Amino acid sequence: MNPSKRWKYLKIWVLISLALIVLFPDVVFDTTTNILGFLFDHFVEFSHILFESVEMVLDHVIEHLFETDLHSTQTIVFYVLLAIGSYLLYRMGRYFLHLYRRSRLAWSEFRTEHPFDAMEYWRELTRFEKIKLIVIPMVILYLYVMFFM
């Protein structure tokens, strides 16, 4: 399929999708939330099964390696998993702290490069742009209230 034909089909697909979203927003919203809920439920179930399998493997390895009874094995496995979880939480915390600092720095750089004064922006708008700026959010709010409430 050549690129121009692919682009044409993509445009048609986008227009059909937009028409469906405009005409049936409740059905699209409900379908999307159902699909995302289905995926989330299966992800949680898969994570639980993965954790249980890791725990079972650790139980067997520690029990055969150290020749301990059931209670001692479970205690050792608990503390091993607690140490692994603590380390993962520590690494995630450091990553998110780094991400937060980088985002804060990028935001402050953006604010210094692009100062924004709302009153100055409003004064520079034409009358038609001011009307658009007021009417469009009102229409969106009206449609939201009519279709989603």
Q: Give the domain ranges of the chain.
A: 116-148
- Which of 20-24, 45-49, 62-66 reaches the highest mean pLDDT? 45-49
**Position 11 pLDDT exceeds 80:** yes
Mean pLDDT confidence for 123-132: 92
Output the pLDDT for position 97.
98
Average pLDDT, the chain: 92
pLDDT band at 44 (very low <50, low <70, confident <90, very high): very high
Report the C-alpha gap between 27 and 125 in whole angstroms.
Answer: 38
Q: Which residue has the higher pLDDT, 2 or 49?
A: 49
Output the pLDDT for position 86.
97
- Give residue-wise pLDDT tens across range 14-28: 999 988 888 888 899
Report the C-alpha gap between 81 and 128 in whole angstroms.
Answer: 63
- Give residue-wise pLDDT tens across range 68-92: 999 999 999 999 999 999 999 999 9
Coil, strand or helix at 83: helix
Output the pLDDT for position 149.
65
**Position 61 pLDDT exceeds 80:** yes
Output the pLDDT for position 120.
83
Count of CB atoms within 10 A of residue 24's CB? 13
**Position 47 pLDDT exceeds 70:** yes
Measure CA 77 to chain center.
32
Amino acid at residue number 55: E
